[in-house]
Structure 1
Amino acid sequence: MSTKMSTEKSFLERQFKLKENGTNVKTEIIAGITTFMTMAYILIVNPDTLSKAGMSYSGVFAATAISAVIATLYMAIRANYPFVLAPGMGLNAFFAFSVVIGMQKSWQFALTAVLIEGLIFILLTAFNVREAIVKAIPINLKHAVSVGIGLFIAFIGLSNAGIVQTGKLMYQDGKLLPNAGGLIVHLGDITTAGPLLTIIGVIITGILLVKNVKGALLIGIVGTTIIGIPMGITNAPEKIMELPTAISDVAFKFVGFEEIFSFDMVVVLFTFLFVDMFDTIGTLVGVASKADMLDKEGNLPNAKPALFADAIGTTFGAMLGTSTVTTYVESASGVAEGGRTGLTALTSAGLFAVALFFAPLFGVIPTEATAPALILVGLFMMSPILKIDLADYTEAIPAFLTIIMMPLAYSIADGIVFGMVSYVLINIFSGKAKKVSPVMLILSILFVLKFVVDKL
């Protein structure tokens, strides 16, 4: 038995280079479970969202889990990074509400756009275009992306728990006006069960962190879930379901060439490409910065396989019947638990596979129980701000705009846009144009053109 265990550990060491990355099997597995539990909600939310576009709920559920497994396995084996992938939030809403309901296109049309996006991403990655973009981002902006993602994650956790809410009344010209856009946040009713459970979870997890308990985030999630039972928030699981067979209702459903070569397809495709590209790049760079995975030049070693993971995941996801697959910002929770290699991602991939057969069991974990982990991960992601040169305003102002715009615009991609465009403009007009690379200049022009086109 001991010989067998030794052989298994030896294989894992060779495959994932655990000692080289300062980690071990136990730490990686705990990190993988933690990441999965903070993002398991996608197994429920994604099918629910896409079903509003007319797609089969159980079919999308299966496609969501399987595409997450495929993409995350590639990330684990080929890139050896602790990043987990699944169909992305925001992009699935654009799929259902903007393309299908808003533009009155079929869900097959939207799936075709996702397939083309995935194929384009494979080409862009193969020709190192996406890697060049990652390398072009200045080091201070890379650190700022990590901090911005931290605030973004914390805001998601606070919002999911109902601790903060949108839609507060605001004053304008001395008059009280309803804020129709819901752009100002305000404190929710923290005396109700949901927010109260999250606050309890933050305190419990915080105490575990102070005591240096290994697996504090995971223990906090499980403990908060249990406390939620008498509070009426955690529901008992339904009967264990069998492997969904309805994937045939959504897999390989694409439109013909007459719709592929249309202006509407170009508009939809460009939006998918833009948001996914910079969400993924932002997540990879931000989480890697926090985990000290960037090299001396501020670049992510072995970035190409990591970028291939979401391209391959998106392509296969479209074939199976789900929206764009992207690297999840919740991967930061696993990194916070010490995850440093692909074994973390492999563990999460295995749990997504298991979830196909035990969906209701994972569905019992309420968002109020995972929210404390997201809130505290927001704190962990803040440390790279110490590496930003705040005395140099040509660096500090773009970094600040990157940080603040992510939670306020509720978009990693928009935060990167504000940071990169401001970096280019401030440095050019302050006589430091040499700091601006050609790639940064081209990207900034494209960003501006995108916003102009969106207004047309």
Structure 2
Amino acid sequence: MLEKLFKLREHGTTVRTEIIAGMTTFLTMAYIIFVNPSMLSATGMDHGAVFVATCLAAAIGCFIMGLYANYPIAQAPGMGLNAFFTYGVVLGMGYEWQVALAAVFVSGILFILLSLFRIREWIINSIPMSLRTGISAGIGLFLAFIGLKNAGIVVDNPATFVSLGDITSLNAVLAAVGFFITIALVHRGVRGAVMIAILCVTVFGLIFGDVQYNGLMSAPPSLAPTFMQLDFAGVFEVGMISVIFAFLFVDLFDTAGTLVGVATKANLIKEDGKLPRLNKALLADSTATSVGALLGTSNTTSYVESTAGVAAGGRTGLTAVTVGVLFLLALLFSPLAGMIPPYATAGALFYVAILMLSGLVNIDWSDITEAAPVVVTCLLMPLTFSIAEGISLGFISYAAIKLLSGKGRDVSMSVWVMSAVFILKYVLTA
């Protein structure tokens, strides 16, 4: 049955190899079951329900990717998108989390339509690589800023807006220790480095009396507080246009980049450079996002940590299915997830930020018309505390700079259209 489903011999792999690969991938990305509930619960969402939604959305996404698309790529609620959901849309713009979930659902439906009508290639190919890189790097800075804020290393200051907090406090010290442990373990090639660091900081918190021990395993909490709690009434306001586009674009670019990167490492790219079953993979991702919103979590997306499983020999969807099964088993560890303090995840956020900023090396810094919009996008995301604003102003800056520099022909039609839409949004919401 497994041979028929996943074509193991054709891909030169075995059941044992695929299961080991799935376990490897899970260990590298399991930190999301601690980080996501911690982050989304800041909006007022029930922590236990978000924990269940996170595990279920990840499992469903992995099952669809594995069984339908037959790719060794795991899925789970995405980093960056969950931060935007919490700190940008709900806490920043003042929308209720139910409205934000509806926006995620709509972005997922739009993603499905783009995949079905094969428009996604046109969008991906027509958005300049510099803007895509700037968006990714900007999200990285956004995550780093949130991590520093959660740890108390950066605090509000009425005179300078932000300043250095008390770095000798327990929260700040343990957050720094968690970051140092993460980097050291990653450098040594330890699987599950991020998760190990989070658990170590939590143990330190227990030792110093800052964390209350609640046990390790129990029956999963109720999903009812977040299940089907979407509110579509506020989704169609003008101010939500950029929010939906932000959810859609970040998910689209994340997925496309991850698919190409992981497939290349697994030698799944055809000789003509095309990715087999690409449409199925994108449909798996977009469907998981919509289902995840119904369950009660932010966008579900493909994880670049899947490369760890590929490095361990994973070549088929059985790897992804294995990850999905492990996410279902993780449902039994809700008491452990509930003990994780915010500062324990600060190191994970900072580590992910480093990964996302690495793409800046590919920017052509000698061409100021390419570099300037990247800087605008990168800086305005953390400074406005909004991924949506960073994307909007990045698009507008790119079009305006190219036009005034006499390079208007270099701007694709999709960038012109998006820039006009974002300008119109600012005019109507002024």
TM-score range, shorter chain: 0.7 to 0.9
Residue 41 (structure 1) shift: 3.1
Distance 1:68 1:437 in 2: 35
The number of aligned residues is: 412
Residue type matched to 2:415 in 1?
Answer: M
Amino-acid identity (%)? 32
Tell me the residue number matched to 1:438: 413
Is 1:229 aligned with 2:206? yes
Whole-angstrom CA distance in 2 between matches of 1:229 and 1:36: 21
| CA offset digits 1:166-189 (Å, max 9, x no partner) | x21227xxxxxxxxxxxx321111
Counterpart Cα distance in 1 of 2:74 and 2:405: 40
Determine if the alignment matches structure 1 residue 378 to structure 2 residue 367.
no
Gaps spanning 5+ residues in structure 1: where? 1-6, 102-106, 172-183
Please point out which of 364, 367, 372 is paired with 1:397: 372
C-alpha distance after superposition, 1:351-407 (max 9, x if no partner) = 442343321122223332232232233223333222111011111111222222222
Of 346, 365, 386, the match for 1:411: 386
What is the distance in 2 between the residues matched to 1:237 and 1:25? 31
Residue 178 of structure 1 corresponds to which residue in structure 2?
none
Deviation, structure 1 residue 293: 6.1
Q: SS of the counterpart of 2:237?
A: helix
In structure 2, distance between residues paired with 1:136 and 1:25: 38
User: Could you say if the C-alpha distance between residues 92 and 186 of structure 1 is closer, same or farther in structure 2, counting changes exceeding 3 Å?
Assistant: closer
1:325 and 2:295 equivalent?
no
The 1:245/1:83 distance shift into structure 2, 3 A limit, reads closer
User: Residue 280 of structure 1: which of 229, 245, 251 is its match?
Assistant: 251
The whole-number CA distance in structure 2 between the counterparts of 1:162 and 1:347 is: 38
Residues 1:188 and 2:165 aligned together: yes
Paired with 2:135 and 2:110, the residues of 1 have a C-alpha distance of 25
Partner of 1:152: 142
Change (3 A) 1:141 1:65: same
Q: Distance in 2 between matches of 1:95 and 1:441?
A: 29
TM-score using structure 1 length: 0.73
Q: Which runs of 5+ in 2 are unaligned?
A: none
CA RMSD of aligned residues (A): 4.3
Return the alpha-carbon distance in structure 2 between the equivalents of residues 214 and 59 of structure 1: 28
Aligned counterparts, 1:292-307, within 5 A: 304-307=279-282
Q: 1:223 to 1:411 in 2, by over 3 A?
A: same
Question: Which residue in 2 is equivalent to 1:420?
Answer: 395
Aligned to 1:391, the other structure's residue is in SS state coil
CA distance in 1, matches of 2:166, 2:9: 49
Any idea what SS the aligned residue of 1:149 has? helix
Residue 128, structure 1, aligned to residue 99, structure 2: no
> In the alignment, which of 73, 82, 85 is matched to residue 88 of structure 1?
82
Counterpart selection for 1:220 from 197, 208, 225: 197
Provide the secondary structure at the position in 2 that maps to 1:84: strand
Q: How does 1:69-84 map to 2 (within 5 A)?
A: 69-77=59-67, 78=69, 80-84=72-76
**Cα distance in 2 between the residues matched to 1:299 and 1:189:** 52
Separation in 1, partners of 2:221, 2:399: 50
Q: Which moved more, 1:113-122 or 1:368-377?
A: 113-122
2:182 is aligned with 1:200: no
